[in-house]
Structure formats: C-alpha cells, structure tokens
Structure 1
C-alpha cells in the first residue's frame, strides 16, 4: 500500500488559482471513437483520458509514476490526462472499496469512480486477489470481469487487459508454487476473455517472473519495488507494440571530419578531431533510472547508447549544453557508452515529480482520509468539505498544464572533448 503524505492546503489552492493559465488544460476531455481493435497500432490521441483500474499493481505506482510517465513521454505532442483508480486488495466487484459506507455498495463505488473519471482508455489490472479463491472462484471472476468490461464499453472507452504478476518466495513456503499456478490460470482466463471480446491483452506474468530471477524487483515477494515498476513500464511499452525506447546512435570520426545519420547532426569536428559537437533530435524523453540497491548492486540500463568510432587514444568527456554527462576512453566510445544521466534525464525526472504531485492530489480527492464524514453516511457532519475536494481540480488541471509544457524533449548541443 502506498505511503500517505499531507495534501495541499486551501491557501496553496488559492495561490495557484491566481496564477492559473487559461487554455487547453481547462478543456473537457471527450471520449474518442470508434474503439481500437486488439491488433490495431496503439496510440494516444489528443484529449484522451487514460484510467488505471485495478488492485495494488496500480495503486503502488502512485509512489513512482513510471507507468504514466512512459505513456506521457511517448506521445509528447498529445494532450493526454491520466487517473489512477488502483486500490490495494481490490477485485472486479470493488469489494476493497467498501471501507466507509454501505449503501452505496462497494460495487456502486467502483462504478461511480470509473464513470466520474470519464475514461477513453482503461488499463484493467485484476485477477491477483481473485486467484486466491482457486479454481472454484473462476466462474465468479469471469462474471465480474464481463460486467466490468460491459460498463467500460458503455462509457465508450477502450480497454486493455493486463495479467496478474507472480509472487516470489523468500523462504521455503510450499504455497508459492500453488499460488503462482493459480495466478497463471487466471491470467489465461483474462487472455481468453480479451480474445473473445476483441480487446488487447498484455501478459505481465512471464516477463516479471523472468526478471525476478535476475534482480530483486519485488518487495515482500508480492509487490513491485521501484526497479520493478521501471521494468513494468518497459514491459507495457513492448506489449503495446511501441518501438524499444533504447537506441544506439553512431558518429564516425575520420580525417575529413565526422559523419552521422539521423537523429544526430554533426555541427563541428575540432582540430585533429579532438572535439566533436553535435545535436541529437530526441523523439521523447527517457525514463529516469530507479535508485540502485546498494546491497544487491542492481543496475538498470535503458538502452540509450552513444557509439563514436575513429577517436584517437585518450579519454573523452561528453557534455550537454556544457553540463558534464559521462567520461570514457576512446575504446569505450567505440564499443558504445550507455547514457544514463544528463539534461534529458533531469527534465524527465522533473516531469515525473509533477506527475507524482498531481496523482497525490487526485488520490486525496477521490478517497480522502475522512471520507466517511465527507462522502459517506456521516456526511451530514462534514459534507461541506466536498466543495474543498472539488477545488482540488484547479491544482490538478494546473499541474497537467505544466506536465504538457515539460514533456517535450528540448534541443541540446552535445560536445565530446579530449581530456588533456
């Protein structure tokens, strides 16, 4: 379950209200139609509203923001907004949402929250909790999943179904094998339902299982950690058919200067080719790398590599707009050097922090800590605070406008210089 922080004060809301820019960020998002088929190329359109609906698989990403960041950066020219409706312990009937009032029922809460989010695309992540019911629970799960898909269709939104992820044992427990077998069984049922209804399905189970054997991407054996969500974002990109985010760009240095193919454009090759200046048109920002675990030494490479051949012996420093990025030998540059920091990563991290703040505000808006007294059966006591929750939309929309301004890659001048 995500860690809670204090939300914004009314004074902060009023301050932002005074500086809120007019324009697109205040526009209503309208559903897009017709719905995509399972095999159609994936893309997000201007005005789309993406909703993550499911259990802790989505709720825990409130702490990291990788899923939203990956989709935001992939379509930097589209104004797309996101709402995370993940709820730890939830199932297709919304049972975990029955924490503060009945009636409305938990299922009615689920339906209301989904409807109010006004989705055009829903990523659906259920099955992990239901799998605990075993084979006997499959018919009821299928029934609930079908009803939920019917509702999403009625809202005019597309659906992408995700499988549950495996669990990992930290001890000699014999239940893990059985648990994973049942998770695979439910994943197969989700895949079957997706095929029957012409929906896109993305298998998370096998990729996460394979990665968990190589690196500690799960905490407590059940929930993804920061590195896990980084990988989940890349798995999601692959499952959507998006081109790999990693790329290798090559610059060849010769007697007559330096040459490179798009997206690199050489500006200048200095005396004796000891300095090479170039620009690189980046289609989208990279994913910021997760913090490394000092105990396990886990290293993540996002695949962005710069290869420069023909350099004379020595060590060369790469800078971006005069800020140092990395230093390596001529041999290493010829083999290819991973670029894991620099201005693009700084910008991407700034974007992620905006996403995290926006999601935090939304979290406390749609499920406030004292919801029984504000939204529930005791709302006659503090129901007046509903207006304050609605005013959070001002901050949320303002942050979305800032996200829109920050998601575009910025042109930079790179310089590779021989150290003397």
Structure 2
C-alpha cells in the first residue's frame, strides 16, 4: 500500500513537470491537506466568478489531490465583498449574507477557499479595520453553518500596468500589498491556511508586462486564469499540474460543464419570478431548478472518472 502511494506521488510530480513554469517562486514548506470526500466551496468576487468559464483552477486542484475524490462549488459573485454587497439584490448587504448562509447550509463545505480584498485599494485603506472585521464576520457565518470547515484565505493578485490610456496601477498595487500583509496576519489569527496570491502572481511590478494576462489591467484573460491556477496550486503546496495540457482537455471540459450547470442551479435566471416578490407569476417553475442537482452530480462522477483515467496513464515506477 505504501509503495503504491509512493508511485502515485512520484507520478503526480512527473505529470506536473510538463506544466510551463511561470515563476521561480520557492514553494511553501507546508501543504494544505485535502481529504477524500472533501466538499470545497470557493468564495470571492469577480476573479472567482469568472474562473468557472475557464476551469483551470478546479482542473488543476482535482488532479493535484490524486485519487482522492473532491467536489468543488464556485460561489463567486462579481463585485462581491466580505459584507455581501453583490449578493443582496434589492436589500441591504445583510440580505446577501443571509442568501449565502442558505447556500452554505445546502452545500455543507468541508473546505472554504476565500479570495477577497481586490476592491479595497479603490475604497481607501482607511476602511481596512472594517474590511478585516467584515471578513471575520463572514468566516463566523461559514463556521456557524459548518463548524469543522477548514479555511484557506487567498490574497488577491496584483494589477497590471498596461500603459495609457489605462490608469497607472502602481499606487493601487502598493495598497494591495498592504491588504496582503493584513490578510496574512488575519489568516494566522483565524487558524486558516494562507496563500499569498499577491506575491505568487508577481507582486507590485511597475513595468508593463511583455505578455499581458489581463484584459484591462484588472480582469484576467484566459492566460491569467491559467497562471493563477498554477500559482494557487503552488501556494497550497500541492504537486504542479498542467490543466491546459492535452491530457487534461476533456477533464477541463467536464469541469466547465459542471460549473455551468451549478451556476444555473444556485443563480437561476429570473430568480425574482421564481422565488421573489413576483413568484405569483412564474413560481410554479421553481421546482425545475432542483432538477439541476442530479445533472451536477452526474458531472461530478464524470470528472472523477476522467481524472482517474489521467492518473492511470501516468508513468509507473518499476
């Protein structure tokens, strides 16, 4: 049994070496331990929500845990904050957190990956104490629904300077560095695993990148998500992966399909007509939303089967 595990570990490292190196950052001395059966929920704003369209992070994570079976659910919401602003629809931010609480009760995560703070440089660092307090309340909400959840706090990545007419992001990156420092301390106090997404993605560089990975200095393009996924895996201390390589093509397609189905499950179109104050018009259709559960579960099964095929095809030690 032990020799089989050693072969699997070595094979994973071999698979990871096919990935294109994007940085010489020294990997962490410790790794986050994922367990078989873990239910992973990813929370955050725009960077998290848009990842579902590319699937690099989940594909890399699925491969990095080896034969262990995990499920991943993306609860990212563009423009969201630790206070729940974007989730609140027509009410105050507290309404957004209440909605999040209901989703957490349903999903019952055992692992939470949270990436917040990218908006803070534009809000003014005078709000840092308020931000940390809001983050603490957010984690308290998560733990109230799932007391044994293991938390990963991710620092938001730096912005890119793409030149005129786009704004210079030097000052914003200096503030993001302060956010990173505050989050590292916060994670320690919360007993959470910390991933320095700011430094792993290059830190506060002032020069224009030769090969931009954002659309506008802020929002990642496909290359940005591919690099971010690689750095997240590195920050978690897991074996390197190549989610964009030929071996992972079908797996990533399955991940993207599953994420699309899940998005329609938890954020259905015309939700006001299904569950809100206009449900008297189309509320009878709300029952159909739950039918997505079986479709998502079927994709989870396909993802695990496809992952095992990839692992079995890896070189074996004699």
Aligned partner of 1:363 in structure 2 is: 263
Go from structure 1 to structure 2 and tell me whether the alpha carbon gap of 1:369 and 1:139 turns closer, same or farther (over 3 Å shift): same
Aligned partner of 1:269 in structure 2 is: none
Task: Give the RMSD, CA atoms, in angstroms.
Answer: 2.4
Q: Does 1:42 align with 2:66?
A: no
Is this contact kept in 2: 1:100–1:371, CA < 8 A?
Answer: no
Aligned partner of 1:55 in structure 2 is: 45
> Gaps (5+ residues) in structure 1?
1-37, 246-285, 290-344, 415-420
Larger radius of gyration: 1
Is this contact kept in 2: 1:152–1:158, CA < 8 A?
Answer: no
Is this contact kept in 2: 1:64–1:356, CA < 8 A?
Answer: yes
Candidates 216, 221, 245, aligned match of 2:217: 221
The superposition leaves residues 6-61 of structure 1 with CA deviations (integer Å, 9 ceiling, x where unpaired) of xxxxxxxxxxxxxxxxxxxxxxxxxxxxxxxx986423212110011000111111
* Greater helix share, structure number: 2
Alpha-carbon separation, structure 1, partners of 2:228 and 2:311: 26
- CA shift for structure 1 position 152: 2.4
Q: Does 1:188 align with 2:181?
A: yes
Aligned partner of 2:152 in structure 1 is: 160
Q: Does 1:239 align with 2:235?
A: yes
Alpha-carbon separation, structure 2, partners of 1:100 and 1:389: 22
- TM-score normalised by structure 2 residue count: 0.81
Aligned partner of 1:287 in structure 2 is: 243
* Greater strand share, structure number: 1
> Gaps (5+ residues) in structure 2?
1-27
- CA shift for structure 1 position 174: 5.9
The superposition leaves residues 297-331 of structure 1 with CA deviations (integer Å, 9 ceiling, x where unpaired) of xxxxxxxxxxxxxxxxxxxxxxxxxxxxxxxxxxx
Higher relative contact order, structure no. (Cα contacts within 8 Å, ≥ 6 residues apart):
2
- TM-score normalised by structure 1 residue count: 0.62
Is this contact kept in 1: 2:101–2:142, CA < 8 A?
Answer: no
Alpha-carbon separation, structure 1, partners of 2:94 and 2:311: 48
Q: How does 1:253-332 map to 2 (within 5 A)?
A: 286-289=242-245
The superposition leaves residues 334-367 of structure 1 with CA deviations (integer Å, 9 ceiling, x where unpaired) of xxxxxxxxxxx24x11111111011001111111
Q: Secondary structure at the match of 1:223?
A: coil
Is this contact kept in 1: 2:160–2:212, CA < 8 A?
Answer: no
Candidates 195, 203, 213, aligned match of 1:202: 195
